[in-house]
Amino acid sequence: MRRLCLLALSVCACSLISFIMPCPPAAGEDEAVGRSMAHQATKSVRNWSTSDHSKHKALHQAFESGAQVTSACLSCHSEAFDQFKETIHWKWLAPQDGSGKKYGKAGDSVNNFCISSNYLNDKKCLSCHPGWEGKKDTVNCLSCHGQQDYNFTEGFEDYAAFSRSKDQEELEIAADIQKDIQNAVQRVARPGRKNCGKCHFYGGGGDGVKHGDLDSSLTAPNKSLDVHMGVDSQDFACTRCHTTVNHHVAGRIYTIPAATDRKSLIDNDLTSKITCESCHTATPHKAGQKPNDHTDKVACQSCHIPTFARVNPTKMYWDWSQAGKLKDGKPYDVIGPLGKETYMTIKGEMVWEKNVKPQYAWFNGSIKTLTTKDIIDPSQPVPVGRQMGDIHDPNARIFPFKIHRGKQPYDKVRNTILAPLLSGDDGFWNTLDWNSALKKGMAHMDQPFSGEFGFIESTYVYPITHMVAPGENVVKCVECHTGKNGRLANLSGFYMPGRDRFKPVDIPGWALVIGSLLGVLLHGAGRLISNSSKKEEETIDEP
Amino acid sequence: MNPKTTKIYLYTRYERFWHWLQMALIVLLLATGLEIHGLYSLFGFEPSVEIHNFTGIGWLMAFAVFVFWLFTTGEWRQYIPTTRKMLEVIKYYAHGIFLGQPHPYPKRKLAKHNPLQRLTYLSLAAFLLPVQMATGILYWTYNSWTSRGFDFLSLQVIAAIHMAGAFALISFLIIHVYMTTTGHSLFAHIKSMITGWEEIDEGVKIEDWERARGKPTQPSGT
């Protein structure tokens, strides 16, 4: 008996003690699996280059045009352009799916920001195309590889003007300009955050317009904005995760997910590092921790990016139907409290927000974007860009999104989205005439326009995947596991502890509890009354 | 008026330890479980989950020891259900207790529980607690359902059963705590569960069938 008692005592005491006083593990052993795996996968960033481009003879010639610079690059990197020509960065078209619709900025795709590039006829869009001087004939290698800010267009023009002079002084100026050009050409490297950011931070026509998790604050972020890119942290360039094969940069291309299988570098050491799991594995937290059980249904980003646009504001709403108003006969802008335009005559009304809580949805990595060829239902908000995947899709996870709402023109007769021409002499920004801008835009795309247009409400989603916050700022369990306005309040079809109640059990359950309580209270009161009346009888009887 | 009372050593050290340990575990499980259910914020959701899981597993281990004890000591016989005197006991709590009548089923070393208690504790130990443990373990291992071939289960159903068990336990707790006040004095029963010594009326005859071992005993106290 005594032995049994001791055994029982020790079992229970052990279990009690071990959770009341969790032993702090020894330093070093404390690191979560996912963190140590990632550290191993990204060890020592040293300069691995075996080449100093400032010493290459090919880059010491007098450059008179961008095309000459490209030829110089290709004289060594012989396959580069052939590779690059095939990429979405050059073509602005996603691989075709046989539907007859061309997905991509250079195709039929539309969004609800600047709406369309009209088959690249909207010249303003070409400011991001990696060709020389907004032209589509030769690639500008320096768009992505140049490490020096230099205006080559001006440089070549000035050089051309001065070098043809007979004046000695002007020729000297020309020589200086040529030196600057060569310096800029020789300063090439793998793309840095600034190279990618030049376009991707400013998508939609301005800083932070499109993504919400990509803006100029990521050029030199601190750790609290992004644990990986932070200059005081890992100092990752974009290409650290967006790994590149033959100039194809890893990442989502419209309906094609960034990664089709979830492989870590342990499964395949040549896999792209585009997913969190590539480096951190599918069970990145310390053994036995609950978050490890979530990775099959919840994307890492859902917890690790509590809010986006944490430094610069992002555009959340863009109403094109308000564009075209004049003040004293002139176009005007209104600057809002966040220092951003809340109204522009050429663009309409917009709403900017900072520190935005994402919205959550099941997502398998594909985004379906509408084209000018899709028939829409104008009676309700049109999902111009929407995430694919649902709870039954094994590849889908609950993922955070920025949802950009807006109003944009559509064809009232044909029920299709219209792509106006915006920039240029004939564009809306110059004429402020919707009808002509829409006609011109649709004519450039060789697609019909009935002539009758209205504005539809629309939504466009952007997956939130950058701006990964430090561990101490992650979304707390209770922000989703709550019945009161939790982050996942709008997701249904599954039972979530803390959020969901099963009323057929809860209501009778509470009735039972309250009934028991009332029962014992009544019983106790009965005993109290009968007891005191008995005592009274006794005291009366006594004398 | 009151008959003379005497004290008997009713609850062994292990029984008392088990009782209070189980009480602590159940209270902790209820407190954390109801927080996880979203009723209030006490420990925080995450600590609640951790405490709940750990306590649940701890309870499971301790319960295994209890079952072992039950069968090695033969104490399981104390829980054999019976309907005899059941009506009297019900009548007593519904009526006699208000009139100050004596309990129709006095406690003895070999007959610790009255028929109502036997039924309650048996349903608790043999049904409710195992159901809580089974649903708790399933809930806890939710992520490996697929690999274990438990895909047919629904988390909502498991959670609902686990919650139903919790409500039954709360109800039991309320009534059980209240019943401790029905002894010779308000705290008599609680005191005996601490010291092991229960105060009983002298000279009340215990019938043979009431005894857990089903055989005649020597006079109490020896």
Which residues of chain B are within 8 Å of residue A524 when distances are taken between CB atoms? 178, 181
Question: Which one of A494, A506, A534 has the shortest CB-CB distance to B163?
Answer: A506
Higher local confidence (pLDDT), B117 or A540: B117
pLDDT exceeds cutoff 50 at A26: no
Domain boundaries, chain A: 304-479
pLDDT exceeds cutoff 70 at A12: no
Which residues of chain B are within 8 Å of residue A477 when distances are taken between CB atoms? 45-46, 49
Is B46's CB within 8 Å of A477's CB?
Answer: yes
| Pairwise CA distance, residues A8 & A12, whole Å | 6
| Pairwise CA distance, residues A476 & A132, whole Å | 48
| Pairwise CA distance, residues A245 & A525, whole Å | 82
Higher local confidence (pLDDT), A106 or B216: A106
| Pairwise CA distance, residues A460 & A408, whole Å | 12
Residue to test with chain B: of A479, A505, A507, A531, most B Cβ within 10 A: A505
Is A513's CB within 8 Å of B167's CB?
Answer: yes
Domains of chain B by start residue, with CATH: 5-205 (1.20.950.20)
Is B156's CB within 8 Å of A495's CB?
Answer: yes
Give the mean pLDDT of A96-101.
83
Give the mean pLDDT of A297-319.
97
Least-confidence region, from A121-135, A181-195, A406-420: A121-135
Is A502's CB within 8 Å of B171's CB?
Answer: no
Question: Which one of B12, B36, B163 has the shortest CB-CB distance to A505?
Answer: B163
Q: Which residue of B has its CA nearest to A519?
A: B175
Residue A294: pLDDT band by 50, 70, 90 thresholds?
very high
Which residues of chain B are within 8 Å of residue A293 when distances are taken between CB atoms? 142-143
| Pairwise CA distance, residues B50 & A57, whole Å | 66
Residue to test with chain B: of A2, A3, A5, A392, most B Cβ within 10 A: A5
Which residues of chain B are within 8 Å of residue A7 when distances are taken between CB atoms? 65
Model pLDDT, residue A46:
62
Model pLDDT, residue B3:
56
Model pLDDT, residue A44:
60
Give the mean pLDDT of B187-194.
84
Which residues of chain B are within 8 Å of residue A11 when distances are taken between CB atoms? 61-62, 65
Q: Which helix (H) or strand (E) holds A319?
A: strand A314-319
Which residues of chain A are within 8 Å of residue B178 when distances are taken between CB atoms? 520, 523-524
Residues of chain B above pLDDT 90, percent? 44
Model pLDDT, residue B220:
42
- Sequential DSSP letters for A221-239: --TTT-TTT-TTTT---GG
Model pLDDT, residue A535:
67
Closest to A460 measured CA to CA, from A127, A204, A176, A263: A204
Q: Which residue has the tokens 């590849």?
A: A395
Residue A536: pLDDT band by 50, 70, 90 thresholds?
low
| Pairwise CA distance, residues B42 & B30, whole Å | 12
Residue to test with chain B: of A20, A292, A297, A477, most B Cβ within 10 A: A477
pLDDT tens profile A239-278: 999 999 999 999 998 888 888 877 777 788 777 889 999 9
Expressed in angstroms, the distance from the first to the final Cα of chain A is 56
pLDDT tens profile B72-129: 988 888 888 877 778 888 888 888 888 888 787 777 666 778 878 888 888 898 899 9
Detail the DSSP E strand segments found in chain B.
5-9, 197-201
pLDDT tens profile A468-509: 999 999 999 999 999 989 999 999 999 999 999 999 999 999
Which residues of chain A are within 8 Å of residue B44 when distances are taken between CB atoms? 478
Tell whether A325 lies on the interface with B, counting CB pairs under 8 A.
no
Is A5's CB within 8 Å of B13's CB?
Answer: yes
Question: Which one of B18, B36, B160 has the shortest CB-CB distance to A498?
Answer: B36
| Pairwise CA distance, residues B112 & A229, whole Å | 70
Residues of chain A above pLDDT 70, percent? 92
| Pairwise CA distance, residues A274 & A174, whole Å | 45
| Mean per-residue pLDDT of chain A | 90
Model pLDDT, residue A360:
98
CA-angle at A392, arms to B36 and A400, nearest 5°: 65
| Pairwise CA distance, residues B5 & B3, whole Å | 6
In a 13 Å sphere around the CA of B211, the CA atoms on its Cβ side amount to 14
Both structure tokens of A518:
């009332």
Model pLDDT, residue B217:
44
Is A12's CB within 8 Å of B170's CB?
Answer: no
- CA gyration radius for chain B? 20
- Cβ pair A12, B58 in contact under 8 A: yes
Which residues of chain B are within 8 Å of residue A498 when distances are taken between CB atoms? 36-38, 45
Burial label for B63, CB within 10 Å (0-12, 13-18, 19+), is middle
For chains A and B, CB pairs below 8 A equal 125
pLDDT exceeds cutoff 80 at B209: no
| Pairwise CA distance, residues B83 & B62, whole Å | 30
Residues in chain A: 543
Both structure tokens of A384:
């111009």
CB-CB neighbours of A453 under 10 Å: 17
Least-confidence region, from A255-264, A307-316, A376-385, A388-397: A255-264
Model pLDDT, residue A297:
94
Model pLDDT, residue A538:
58
| Pairwise CA distance, residues A246 & A346, whole Å | 40
